[in-house]
Amino acid sequence: MSFKVHTLAALTAGASALAGAAAAQDDMMPMIMVQGVTASSNQIIVPEVMVDEPGFIVVHRMEDGAPVVPQSIGHAYVDAGTSDDVVIDLDEPLMADEQYTLMLHYDTDGDGTYSFGEGMTDVDTPVVMDGAPVTTVFATAADALGEVEAAVAEAAGTVVEGVQDVAEGVAEGVEGVAEDVAAGVDAAAEEIDDLDAPMIMADGATAGGMAVTVPQVWIDEPGFLVVHEMVDGEPVVPQSIGHTALVAGMNEDVTVSIGEEFSADEQYMLMLHYDTDGDGVYSFGEGMTDVDTPVTDDGAPVTVTFQPSM
């Protein structure tokens, strides 16, 4: 909370010395210049303080028009000379429609610590000119509180409007994202529908040496990708020369190793088989043609024929 500050009096002795700031600076007459002073509930900022020796600017409460001393509610150290924008932190908050006294004190023991107080009135004593302490009285104005409250209310309204605008923007963005996600899900669902039929996607497959690698294989249940030799354009079954297990769904970069090197002059067949007994072991072969049988689509085994490139 901030206050509007009204300076009521500058109680410094020596009226002739107050005639001009230039003369005051030349003589380094202790002075508190409070024009433009600002105050919040827990802090006062004094534009300029002049003192001929190191000391303190101190805030005292007032009762019946007189400062309450030796008690104080805040102070700040000032070096000898001119100090600008002196910040005084307060031990208790300022009250609206109250008067306070700013008073200069010397650092009489030179320790940089303000000690003037109950039972210690002989140390860090007030700066006195012509028999009177150098002080300035100021009052906190209640009308400033209304201005602050109005400003806070206006700012709060602006924040609320901003939050509403952001919320609307977020809602629109979320709606757009939701539409994009829904479209993506639909597209993915269409792709999955297209993959209902098991298939070997051999575009980009490589074969040579003792292995063949297929980019993608789709199968609706766990099974195997099996390599069969071919004779006269037909696969040699139930015999096989290599196989690898597949999980249900899409399998990427599937490699099948064989027991001997491929021949560049021969054709081979990749064939899908289901793991019909669910044991993860490929068992289709001589005398075992009723287990781990070929995957069929429209009555025909799912196969791809290839010839190795050596």
Task: Name the architecture of domain 199-306.
Answer: Sandwich (2.60)
Q: Given this model, what pLDDT does residue 248 score? A: 93
Q: What is the mean pLDDT of each run of 10 residues along the chain (310 residues)?
A: 53 34 55 84 91 96 90 96 95 87 95 94 93 87 47 51 61 65 61 69 89 94 96 93 95 94 92 96 94 93 88
pLDDT of residue 52: 95
- Going by C-alpha positions, the residue among 77, 83, 79, 13 that lies closest to residue 46 is 83
What is the model's pLDDT at position 165? 64
* Dihedral sign, Cα of residue 115, residue 116, residue 120, residue 126: positive
Does residue 70 sit in helix, strand or coil? coil
Q: Which pLDDT score is estimated for 73?
A: 95
Q: DSSP string of 260-310?
A: SPPPTT--EEEEEEE-TT-SSS---STT-TTSSPBPEETTEE-EEEE----
Q: b/e for 221-244, b at 16 or more Cβ within 10 A?
A: eebbbbbbbeeeeebebbebbbbb
Residue-level pLDDT at 22: 37
Q: Which of 274, 267, 263, 270 is nearest to 310 (CA)?
A: 263
Q: Are 100 and 61 in contact (CB under 8 A)?
A: yes
Distance CA 104, CA 106 (A): 7
What residue ranges do the domains of the chain occupy?
A: 2-145, 199-306
